[in-house]
Amino acid sequence: MEIMVSRSSITTTGNNTGAWRFVRPVYERHTAPCSAACPAGEDIPRIEALVSEKKFKEAGEVILMENPFPSVCGRVCFHPCETACNRAGFDDAVAVNSLERFVGDLLDTSDGSLPFEAKEKNGKRIAIIGAGPGGLSAAYFLSRLGYSCEVFESEEKPGGLLRWGIPAYRLPEQVLDREIKRIESLGVKINCSTRLDSSFIETANESFDGVFVGTGLGSPIMMNIPGEELGIGWEVFLKEVKKGTQKEFKGKAVVIGGGNAAVDVARTLVRLGASVTIAYRRRIEDMPAFGSEIEIAISEGVEILELVAPVAIVQNAEQLSIELQSMKVEGQDGQRAKVVNDGDKKKSIVADRVYSAIGADVEDEWKGAKTVSRPGNRSALYNEKIPVIYGGDLVNADKSVTSAIGSGKEAAIMFDILLAEGGSKAGDEEAVKKTTAACQVGDGQSLSFEAYIGGERRNVVEGVVKFEDINLNYFEKTALKDKNSMKADLNGFDEVESGIDEVSAIYEAVRCFNCGICTDCGICSLFCPELSVLTGNEGRRIELEYCKGCGICVCECPRAAMSLVKEAE
Amino acid sequence: MQQTAIPKKVKYDSEYGSTDLLNPGHVGCPGCGAVLAMKFALHALGPDTMLVIPACCWAVIAGPHPQTSLNIPVLHTAFETAGAAASGLRAALDMKGDTKTTVVAWAGDGGTFDIGFQALSGAAERNEDFIYVCYDNEAYMNTGNQRSSSTPYRTRTTTTPGSGKVQRKKNIVEALAAHRIPYAATASISHPEDLIRKFKKAKDMKGGTRFIHIFATCPTGWRCPSEMSVEVARLAVKTNFFPLYEVEKGVKYIINAEGELPVEEYLMTQGRFKHLGDTEIQRVQAMVDDDFAFLKKKTLL
């Protein structure tokens, strides 16, 4: 007789085990600390994910979404992203700045085309005063929103501080020209050698719907010491070198100041052949200039005299004598040492030229503009009918190129809210606050253009990914291998930093934790006991028919791209 | 210029966790480690596999009749019989001329360490040609958490209340190695790459008894959050509480991972160890250290 055995005839797929669930895993974008720290609000983890997949062009397009100046920023940005990088708590921060330069330099703009289509022209016109990073950024983003922009620049070429204030060995002019050309290809009209004063605003409404003011800091800060007129202002000097009217100087120079301008002047002088001393009233570690720049200056032979304050400049036959008061440290003044006169100890040094580089201030013309530091707080003033928005160094608490770029973007978004058809009336700050809050990158100071125009980043949830949120089991310690590095070249103004090559770029991008974004690594699916993580054209998703809500996927996700949410009662 | 190897980006699921031999809708508890063990094992073994499952959690997970969660043949057998039934299945296939199909006995710790031990020992002594897998959740979890000889020292179960089990965990791999079988190994659900490698190796060593002991977290019985299932297993490896190693021909020991963390980090993730004070934790640490030192000595044989 046949042996009778009971046999299964159906599978378990008919069981709705999803009904067991009381929490549900969701894919959620969280903000990476680098993005939150970026004054231009770039989507850095996405950029690095694309570079790691060798998709350099796509990575460049992701930068261009938020920043028209990748090649410039890849050279001159003070990269707070790297300071904020979660990877720094593991081995070394990812070389984000070097990667930005690598990606930016590969972007082909020869045909002037952009990776995205600008909106149809809306017939509204914005006047932009100042073709610096803030004004050009405002023009870039406004053009993409459909506005016609006209930029007015007092100098003969656009770029502002980027062209006249940053020496060519840090930022070659052709790099700047290339990125400005990309902005012009959007239809932005730049009128050079056209200085506008503040009275322009009074009548601007006759031909414009809004005005952006990004005139920067045009007025050098005075030392208020006898003989000051014997010194040379840093901005005058750097501009002369750029224009080619200063080619050589073999004498001895003293630079007074401790900021980036002082270091730029010193390093420029080294290239002209001078022997250079920086005189600073506090200590080297208190200098506001970027630490890396100071180190490079010292390596290039610049001498730094600490704890001396100039009290007078005296003509001494053919030379100048700088009288210096010795200072001493007495307590702290915020981040820096507080210094006071060290009795009446004095010294004096002799030089052929003295340069004053203690900073710059707002020209009297624009003194009305108020300093701003948070998104949505940017002051929009009204001239009866049209909004006037200030940006860049003129009003930013944080005086940096990338912050200026961020402020231009923020202004563009604000114009669009204020000028929207049937939109907010003049003075309706609530509408601006509400919309800008929705576009804010994490808890940072920048806005996302992608979020504003309704892109993916709109869906980012609140909060910033912390180091503890990263599942370190999926990463191996691999120290930083390569970043933009110095070439010892003091002859002339060739760029002194070289970028990284493709192999290093990919290596570096692979190191990125990609905090808060799904990179389709598959860990969630690997450890799903319910086989409920599915892959589709639009990324990963959870099959809720079976998911029991165990949460392993969320716990194991290497990069905090998932969360558990309560099921509705 | 010196060429640097670029770290490869792995697509983890397709590399280690893709199988269409397991169906969703099974009735394993949320976060079940035994299901993950099966998922990875089937990824390595492929469709030409037949399973023998005695009484254990998986007897339920494989499906209440007439359902099945597995798309390969499964023979459900009595608690004590996995070793004998797998021997019989192998013999039947051989008689039919099918020498290709891999026979796998898939039992829990109760069916391996305790109730099924004589059948397993007998089969191992005869060097029967199959892979015997013990997915170990360290107690009789299916029946409500009664201690087994796999339950670790001081674990609280329903039959070892208060200060927990007095005896230490039986070293089952040592017992199987004593049979001088071709291959015995430990594996963990937290290390799928290692687990899959071992299953492939075991499959290729066809001809004798191969034994794989898989550490499989039971969030329900161990009283840990279900989302911690993999992390708990990982900590067991990282603290040497459950070392990963292989034994070839019963004598050649190979250690695959060496942990550095104190065992307390593992113990404190679970309610079953929550009652342990410092003294007991130090005692467990000393046992783990001694065991690992002894294991290392064996690699020198």
Model confidence at A428, in pLDDT bands (50, 70, 90)?
low
Average pLDDT over every residue of B34-46: 97
* CB within 8 Å of chain B, chain A residues 160-199: none
Query: Is residue A44 within 8 Å of A30, Cβ to Cβ?
Result: no
Alpha carbon distances (Å) from B194 to B54, B66, B216: 26, 34, 14
Nearest CA to A15 among A566, A541, A532?
A532
Average pLDDT over every residue of B274-283: 97
Average pLDDT over every residue of B9-24: 87
B74 contacts in chain A (CB < 8 Å): 8
Report pLDDT for A281: 93
Query: Is residue A563 within 8 Å of A461, Cβ to Cβ?
Result: yes
Give how far the C-alpha of residue A51 lies from the chain's centroid of Cα atoms, to the nearest Å: 19
Q: Inter-chain contact B23–A13, Cβ cutoff 8 Å? A: yes
Among B15, B74, B227, beta carbon nearest to A554 = B227
Model confidence at B2, in pLDDT bands (50, 70, 90)?
very low
Give how far the C-alpha of residue A531 lies from the chain's centroid of Cα atoms, to the nearest Å: 42
Q: How far apart are CA A261 and CA A221, in angstroms?
A: 12
Q: How far apart are CA A296 and CA A267, in angstroms?
A: 9
Among B10, B26, B31, beta carbon nearest to A552 = B31
Give how far the C-alpha of residue A188 lies from the chain's centroid of Cα atoms, to the nearest Å: 22
Model confidence at B9, in pLDDT bands (50, 70, 90)?
confident
Model confidence at B3, in pLDDT bands (50, 70, 90)?
very low
Mutate: best of A526, A535, A543, A546, partner B, most B CBs <10 A: A526
Average pLDDT over every residue of B69-74: 97
Residue A426 has pLDDT above 70, yes or no: no
Among A13, A525, A552, beta carbon nearest to B25 = A13
* CB within 8 Å of chain B, chain A residues 96-155: none
Rg (CA), chain A: 28
Token pair, residue A6, equals: 């009971």
Is A17's Cβ below 8 Å from some Cβ in B? yes
Place of tokens 């680098």: A34
Average pLDDT over every residue of A140-164: 96
Model confidence at A336, in pLDDT bands (50, 70, 90)?
confident
Closest-approach residue (CA) in chain A for B225:
A550
Q: Residues with Cβ < 8 Å from B96, sequence gap 6 or more? A: none
Query: Is residue A287 within 8 Å of A339, Cβ to Cβ?
Result: no
Q: How far apart are CA B188 and CA B233, in angstroms?
A: 7
Give how far the C-alpha of residue A247 lies from the chain's centroid of Cα atoms, to the nearest Å: 32
Closest-approach residue (CA) in chain B for A477:
B7
| Listed range (A24-28, A503-507, B12-16, B254-258) with the worst mean pLDDT | B12-16
Model confidence at A382, in pLDDT bands (50, 70, 90)?
low
Highest mean pLDDT among A389-393, A461-465, B262-266: B262-266
Residue A471 has pLDDT above 80, yes or no: yes
Q: Whole-angstrom distance between the N-terminal and C-terminal Cα of chain B?
A: 45
Token pair, residue A474, equals: 């999926």
Report pLDDT for A537: 81
Report pLDDT for B1: 38
A524 contacts in chain B (CB < 8 Å): 13
Token pair, residue A75, equals: 């050279």
Average pLDDT over every residue of A272-276: 94
Token pair, residue A237, equals: 């000097």
Among A6, A522, A532, beta carbon nearest to B24 = A532
B222 contacts in chain A (CB < 8 Å): none
Model confidence at A422, in pLDDT bands (50, 70, 90)?
low
- CA atoms within 13 A of residue A352's CA, in its CB half-sphere: 10
Give, to the nearest 10 degrees, the angle between helix A429-439 and helix A401-418.
Answer: 130
Alpha carbon distances (Å) from B286 to A61, A393, B262, B263: 57, 64, 10, 10
The alpha carbon of residue A273 is apart from the nearest alpha carbon of chain B, in Å, by 33
What is the number of other CB atoms lying within 10 angstroms of the CB of residue B2? 4
Residue A370 has pLDDT above 70, yes or no: no
Token pair, residue B190, equals: 């937290």
Residue A307 has pLDDT above 50, yes or no: yes
Q: Phi and psi of A482, rounded to 5°?
A: -155, 145
Is A20's Cβ below 8 Å from some Cβ in B? yes
Report pLDDT for A378: 63
User: B102: which strand partners?
Assistant: B49
- Is residue A271 classed as helix, strand or coil in its secondary structure? helix
A vs B: CB pairs below 8 A: 141
Among A6, A523, A529, beta carbon nearest to B35 = A529
Token pair, residue A178, equals: 């290339």
Query: Is residue B281 within 8 Å of B267, Cβ to Cβ?
Result: yes
The alpha carbon of residue A562 is apart from the nearest alpha carbon of chain B, in Å, by 13
Among A501, A510, A531, beta carbon nearest to B9 = A510
Q: Inter-chain contact A529–B3, Cβ cutoff 8 Å? A: no
**Mean pLDDT for all residues in chain A:** 90
Query: Is residue A394 within 8 Å of A369, Cβ to Cβ?
Result: yes
pLDDT tens digits along B185-241: 999 999 999 999 999 999 999 999 999 999 999 999 999 999 999 999 999 999 999
Report pLDDT for A483: 79
Query: Is residue B288 within 8 Å of B241, Cβ to Cβ?
Result: yes
The question of ipTM being above 0.85 is answered as yes
Among B9, B16, B32, beta carbon nearest to A526 = B16
pLDDT tens digits along A248-266: 899 999 999 999 999 999 9
Helices and strands, number each (H, E), in chain B: 12, 9
Report pLDDT for A372: 63
Q: Whole-angstrom distance between the N-terminal and C-terminal Cα of chain A?
A: 56
Model confidence at A380, in pLDDT bands (50, 70, 90)?
low
Alpha carbon distances (Å) from B110 to A296, A497, B130, B138, B176: 69, 66, 20, 8, 15
Nearest CA to A411 among A398, A401, A396, A397?
A396
Q: Which amino acid, A47?
A: I
Average pLDDT over every residue of B158-180: 97
Query: Is residue A46 within 8 Å of A448, Cβ to Cβ?
Result: no
| Listed range (A15-24, A222-231, B108-117, B176-185) with the worst mean pLDDT | A222-231
**Mean pLDDT for all residues in chain B:** 96
Q: Inter-chain contact A10–B68, Cβ cutoff 8 Å? A: yes
Q: Inter-chain contact A527–B17, Cβ cutoff 8 Å? A: yes
Residue A110 has pLDDT above 60, yes or no: no
Residue B112 has pLDDT above 90, yes or no: yes
Model confidence at A373, in pLDDT bands (50, 70, 90)?
low
The alpha carbon of residue A175 is apart from the nearest alpha carbon of chain B, in Å, by 26
Q: How far apart are CA A549 and CA B192, in angstroms?
A: 21
Average pLDDT over every residue of A267-273: 94
B27 contacts in chain A (CB < 8 Å): 12, 15, 17
DSSP string, B219-236: HHHHT--GGGHHHHHHHH
Alpha carbon distances (Å) from A235 to A86, A238, A312, A359, A404: 38, 5, 21, 9, 18
Residue B280 has pLDDT above 90, yes or no: yes
